[in-house]
Amino acid sequence: MADREAFDAYVRERWVPLLRTATLLTGDRHAAEDLVQETLVRAAQHWRRVDPATADAYVRRILYTRSVDAWRWRRHQPDPAGHPGLDEHPGADRPAIPDPSGGAVDRLTLAEALARLTPRQRAVLVLRFYDDRTEVEAARLLGCSVNTVKSQTRHALERLRVLAPELAGTFGREEATR
């Protein structure tokens, strides 16, 4: 019973941050909610063996790997909606207008560009720049080498520069070596 109470307390405390991270990983609020729920179901199955000091790292690792697993599964499924490919970006030729919204357009542009990265690239960027993890921590959480994190970060930032050149100052060269 104490395990269930501890798990319930963890969910109440960490739901919002997990959902925020999942939204960045998936690019869709509904998919993010599903991802967090799947993650928490998996975590609940083994909660009695989870050390409270490392519970967040344990759950986030499940979150990141489930995100990549879901992408791997979806890429082998037919796309009934006929979504545009990477080079067919709707609205790419929209005229530049001043941003009276205080950066909302930049955030939306960045969200669209992030959604077009691979799940592994999104996971690396979220870990490195949103969760402010070191390369070593990101590698441990993703179950890969530090060099993989470095190369995925470099490739993801290069891809973002292509997808959203108007945000080039947002992810400059200095971040790639951070």
Q: What's the average model confidence in pLDDT over 20-28?
A: 88
Return the SS3 of 34: helix
For the chain, what is the total number of helices (H) and then of strands (E)?
A: 8, 0
Q: CATH: 1.10.1740, 2.60.40, 1.10.3720, 1.10.3470. Which one for 2-75?
A: 1.10.1740
pTM, 2 dp: 0.53
Domain boundaries, the chain: 2-75, 104-176
Give the CATH class of 104-176: mainly alpha
Q: CA-to-CA distance for 120 and 84, rounded, in angstroms?
A: 20
Residue at token pair 């990477």: 86
pLDDT tens column, 111-154: 888 888 888 898 899 889 888 889 999 998 888 999 999 999 99
| Short-list 54, 44, 59, CA closest to 6 | 44
Model confidence band, residue 101 (pLDDT cutoffs 50, 70, 90):
low
